[in-house]
Each structure stands twice: as structure tokens, then as C-alpha cells.
Chain A
Amino acid sequence: MSENNTIGIVAPQTAHFNEPLTLKSGAALSQFDLVYETYGTLNADKSNAVLICHALSGTHHVAGKYSEKDKYPGWWDNLVGPNKPLDTNKFFVIGVNNLGGCHGSSGPVSTNPATGKPWGSEFPIVTVEDWVNSQARLLDQLGITQLAAVIGGSLGGMQALQWTIAYPDRVRHALVIASAPNLTAQNMAFNEVARQAIITDPEFHGGDYYEHGVVPRRGLRIARMLGHITYLSDDAMGEKFGRKLKDSIKYSFDVEFEMESYLRYQGDKFAGEFDANTYLRMTRALDYYDPALAYGGDLSKTLSQVKAKFLVLSFTSDWRFSPARSREIVKALLDNERTVSYAEVTAAHGHDAFLMPDEHYHAILRTYLSNIEVGGNHAK
């Protein structure tokens, strides 16, 4: 649908922060870096900024390519670009790698300024709240007082929601996609299995594997394989692989079914490029996020001070972040008489659907985003 309107070649930037950041856990980062990318042009009154919050394994590299040779563009390239649903002719789009990440922002793989060695196990546990606070610092540095919109899917949707709670005056629109106001026990249970796979890998070394020159590849691989099972629906897996064999039954434990081949490929690929300590922290951030906890579990009270207008989206076959969880957010907004629309998109792909260019899904985003008003001095 939108192949000829890529943002083109992009480059990441790094913002350095010397002011200490106190984390929700009570720990503090005396200084930190955030790596980010921007697409489009910030208008004169800085009213057209859109922040994209990434999910578990996402990065700041949302759209475009670093060089013509790149095999794949950024992770949400189907959404972001000139004349795409999130139109960079209109908006100034920011992608940022979260704290604790492994793509350039301060995290376990980066150097601890106090020791000159990788942080490893010493890097503190970061939360959704901490991420949003650090993102706010980035906006300060960019001179952006208020976002036209904040957008995120899954864990990114939690950040979008948190933005409206923590900084009600700094967000005009929140697009919360395939997300939830907290994780269910079952959802947290998947995270625990993933973490156990990593932590019990003999090469994990309590999180300080860097100094041993190894990585807990096996653990990370299994964690990712498990994740991929939960991101797809039963139907989508059935349709994609069914019981298809690669060759024939060999009465072995080698790769025999197509599904196994897919999971192993995804696991290997991920284990080769992602950091296990980051994975542990991202899943913990998911587990801990529960903004209503401070309000006795009352989400309506939690959202009583939000000012943003909301678009909440879910996907019918998403069982990891089911539509029912999105409806909880919608209900709390309705209870507070906020401006909210909710779409339950019919999609077969499970949780992964939020990253796919489904026509109706993208039409909703395009339509909603095109209605967002941005200030003058910008051709639209």
C-alpha cells in the first residue's frame, strides 16, 4: 500500500543528561544517555511532535534505513513516513530507545561511569514511569513543551498511557494500541518463564557475563521462542505453519515441523542481537506497571487527571493483550468523561497485529492522526 513513500536514510542521535534521574525503585542514575531518531520537521511553534514508544524488543529505529544496503527498515516503517498514516510531512516524529535498552541508551551493556566497565547486573531496574520521565527530559532538551501525540503498542501503549497520567499538560492525544492497564497473572507468568530461561543459563553469570566474554544465548533464545508463541494467535500459527513438515518425520528431535524452524530462527536471530539483561528488565517493567495500584486498584480514579484525547485500539485475536484489557482503559476514560474512541480491529495475527499494515487498522490511525491539529508555519 505504501512502498514508495519511505522516509529514506536516517541517522540516530544521542542526548546526554547530566542531571541525575531518580528511579521509581529509589535508585538513581547520576547521568544517562538516550539514543533517538527523528523524522520530519519540527514546526515553528513546536506543536507537531509525536513520540513513539517502543515495546519489549523495539528500538529508537522506527522508520527508514541507515544505508541503502540495510535489508530491513525500522520496526514501524509501515506506519511512519511521508504520506503514511503517521505522516512525516505533517508531524515531527521521535523514536527513542528506552533506558535499560541495548541499542545505545544507557543500559546494562553500556559503560558504568563509576567503574568504567559495563553496568551488567548493576544497572538498576527501570519502570514504565522511569522511561516516561526520561523521555520527558529528552523533550525538554528538544524544546518541546507539549506532544501532539504519543503512540505506542503493547508495552509502548503502557508508556503512552503513563504519559497522560504523569504529564497531563504535555500530551494532546494518546494512541494506546494492543495494550493494558497492567498485566494479568498469566501474562506475567510468561515473563517469569522467559526470565528463568535466561537466569538459569550457565553463561548468565549473575548478569555479569560480559566480563566472561560469553552471552546467555540459550536462555535468551528460549525466552524469545516462548514470546513468539504468545504473540501469534492459534489460528495465525495454524495458517502460517499448520502441521507442515520441512521434509518428513524422522523420529528425532531435530527441526521437523515448519513451526519449529520458525521458532528456532526467531530465537537464534534475537539471541544474536539482543541483550539478556535488557530482556530481563523490559519484562520486569511490564510486570511492574500498574498505575491503579496507588489508587486502590481504581483505574477510573487513576485517570481522573488526564487531559489527553484517546484513541484506544485492540485486536480481536490478541490473547496476550486482549480487547477486554483495552476496554478497561476505555471504561475508566468514560467514567471520567474524557474524549475517547475505541476500535476493536478484526485481525487474525494475535498480538503481532499491531505491527502489521492491516488496511482498516491503518485507515483508523491515518484518519485519527490527520484530524490532529498542529500549529502554524507548516505546510499541510
Chain B
Amino acid sequence: MSPQATEGGAGGSAGLDPKSSTAASPPPPAFGRTLPSRGREARDSRITAGVIALGAIAILIGGAFVGLILEGVNDLSGAIAAFDGYLFRVARFTLWQAALSTLFSVVPALFVARALSRHPHFPGRGLILRLFAVPLALPAIVAALGVLALYGRAGYLAGLLTKISGGDWPGIYGLSGILVAHVFFNLPLATRLFLEALNAVPTDQWRLASQLGMSARAGFRLIEWPALRASLPGVAGLVFMLCITSFTIVLTLGGGPRASTLEVAIYQSLRFDFDPARAVALTLLQILLTLAVVAVLMRLGANVTGDANLSVAPRRYISSGRGETALDAALIALGLAFVAGPMLATVLSGLESDLMRLAGEATVQSAAATSLILACLAALLCVMLTLALAMARRALQLQRKAAGEKSFLEHMTDTGAGFVLVVPPIVIGAGWFVLLRHAGNVFALAPVMVVTVNAVMAMPFALRAVRPAYDAASERHERLCAQLGIRGWSRLRLIEWPVLRRPLSTAFAFAMALSLGDLGVIALFGSDSVQTLPYLLLARMGAYRTADAAGLALLLGLICLALMALADRLGKDTAQ
């Protein structure tokens, strides 16, 4: 789920900024003087690399805007005419489904998080929390399929649901399907974030509460609620943002024009109608909407890391009554069933499919190969860009010690990558699509677009893994390198590579998983000749070859989970 994951990274890198810059203790003043060349030298090769990386990002985003603006100017009347009732209905639905998704994700999450926090010894608690981290790593299309396999008209629960509803179970296409899938993704995320907030409550408060003999209600009102309330706007804002830019879920579960969001409408206006003017209008509205949400998020100071470290639960002094324990257990079980259900359905239906035949199919093999190659390239590009930015930022920071003020360039290397989060992949794709169509066969450019857009989208995440490691390494080796005159490639190879190998691998695995699961860019640019696994999955799903789709989903889900687990593992080891 790329928006999910990338968004998580946004806050991550933003959250790191103050920390990393304060953590880097200023070098002694003599440093600048002993190496006069460094202070005066305008460009150290690291900065050049950073400038190139920034330039590449600017071209990618800027090019998309040039395409959109040119098209808009070219067909101004068309673009203006596209602001019609349809457009506003789509915008309204986008906001409406996001609001409902947020409500249904965040409110239950409050209760589940509270229940989990009150029972640190709940059987399987660690496992549940780990399971709650899985949706983050799951490609959206896999989740969509899992939801369908469970609640669809022909799903595992169809019989039961038919009995409950009395009539024929209508399936879950439309708003209900979108909501279920969004809650599947965001309920666990919100739960983890709330739990983190609750875990941050000082143990003293609990002890005090216990000594004063506070009832559960009083404890909630005086201790838990203030902690939850503080993190509520941020969490809700994050979930809202993720739902407003949701593409794959709406595309696969929307089931027609009635349930269409701006992103899906952008895709349809290019691939269905071929109406670039409408695409421009929709894109404009989408950007305005995301900007507004991001502005509100920033004002709220949302903690959007989505990366709660929950391994240690603080000691608790809570004695809950039997009734309350039962209620909490039921809440946790409900939350667990809701999150585990679609995953289980994905696995079951995947195993039911003819996996051997699928694996032998030439189309599947070539799609898998294409996916892996493109994801590897995207990850490689992402890691290179990220390293370049991290190096340039550090070099600029060191240079500045003499000068004082942060330069524009340093600001850009600091937060520049964060800008990509305001611009959803579909928007970048759409911009390039309308720009490139004059230059010939846009579908032939699919590999380039997939690699570059996914690489840049994964950057905020990668930065989170790479930058602290680079800064720490530089802290340790900067002077040694300067004294020995080790620079450029040899410095990278001899000094930095051994230290950075792990964080770079983390970033690589992460970027690869994100890129593998992406459907946004390939949905626009994909064709018969360039197919990735998610694209093939969508095609099989479209052709209602459900068994095939289920098998592919299982495969894709497992690859992404393995990569994410690897990234997590490598990341944790580095931290130690």
C-alpha cells in the first residue's frame, strides 16, 4: 500500500529533522581553519551528488506539472468546462468516504488500543501487535482481494451474511467495500499509534491511580483519555490523508461511477475517456485537497511515523474486574478477527488456486520478472538518490558551521524529499502521460515511469533509515577523512560502505516492497507489453478469474511481507 507506507515515511523524515541536526554536535571551531580548503570550496562532490538528486526529483515532479499546465492552457475551455457537476460529485464522494473511513477506523481503534494497553499479559498480545503491522506492508490490491474473498457475494462469509441479512447478500461493491478495506488498513495503524500514546503515559501516573483506588472510569477520564486525545487529531488526520489519496482500493472495490474518487477519476479520464482536459481539472482539485489536508496535519503537528516501537509494555498497576476483562478481551478479539479475516481469506483462497499451473504460465513468469526487475531498479535508484541527499545535507551542514544560516539548498536536502508526498503518484503519472503522448508511444515508457516514480515515492522512507546512519558515520570519520584526504568514491567505498551497508539494505528492501506492490503508475502506463504482478492481478481480477487472482495475490503478498520483514530486521539490528 504505497500511499500508506510513503505517508508513514513523511512524518518519519520530518520528525527526524530536529533530532538529527541537534544530534550532530558542532565540530570544534578549529575544524574549519585546519582545513581552509573545505570552508571555501563551494562544491564538495557530496553536494554535487545531492544537487543532482534534487534536480532529478525536481524534473520528475516539475515535468508532470509542465504536462498538466501545457494541456490546461492548450485546452483552457475544456479544462474549465470539466469543473462540472460530475467533478464536484467525485470530490464530494472522495471526502465523504475518507471521513467515514476515518471515523470507522479511529473510533474502534481507541477502544482496541485501550483494551490492549490495559492487558499487557493478554495471551498472544505480541503476536496480535505484529499482525497489526502486516497491513502496512501489504499491497492494497492484495488486501482488496482478501476483502472480496471474505465478504464478496461469492466470499467465504456470503452464506452467513445472507442468513443474517435475511435476503440475498448483495456483496460489497461500492462504498461498503471501500470502507471495509480502508478500515482493514487503518484500524491496525491507528490502534498501534494510540497504543504508543498510551504506553507513553508515565508509570507513576498508573501507580498513583492504583494507590488512589481509581475506578476504571476515572482512570480513563483522568489518565487514558488525555493521552489519547492528544494524539487523536494527528492519527485521524493521517488516516484521512491516506483515504483521500486511496487509489487501488477504490478502483477495485468501487464498482462504478457512483463510488469514484478523484484519483480513480483521473485514471479513468486518461485511460477510459481519453479526456486530458478533464484529467487536468481533476488533478488540480486533487492537489488542492491534499495540500489542504497536509496543511491541517502540519498545524496539528501530527506524529505520522506509523512505526510505533511496541516491544516493551510498561509495568501496569491495573486490576480490572472480571466483567471489564471479558469486555476488553471481546474487543481485542473483534479487532483481531476484522484484521486477520481478510489476511486469512487471502491465504486460503490463494492456496485453493492452482499455484503450480500459475507459476508455470508464461505471462505470470514474465510479469513476475518485470516486477522484480523494475522494483530492483526503483529500489536502487531510490537508495542512490537518498544517499546523495543525506551526504549533501551533512556536507552542507558541516560547511555552514562557519557561515551560520541554513542555505536554501540545505533546506531542500533536508525536507525536499517530503514534497513528493503532497503529489500522489497518479498525479505525477497523469502529468507525464499527457506530456509524453505527443512524443509517441507513452506505453513504451512504462518501465521508466514505474522505476522513477516509485523510487522517489519511497525516498522519505529510505531517508529515515539512511540519514541517521550517515550522520553518525560522518560524525565519527569526518575528520579522519579530511586529514587523510580520503574523498569521493574511495571514501564511499572504504569508509562509508561498511557502516552504511545495513541501513542501505533496509532502505533497498523497503523501496523494493513498495514498488512491487504499486498499482498507481502501472495502471496508467501498463499495457499488454509491460505488465507487472499487480497489473496482471488487476487484469485477472477484472476478467473474474478469481482463482488466478487469489494465487497471484498470495504470491505478491508473501514477497512484499518478506521484504518488509527483512527491512525491519536489518533496521532493528542497525539501531542496536
> Do these two chains interact?
no
Residues of B within 8 A of A (CB): none
* A-to-B contact residues, CB < 8 Å: none
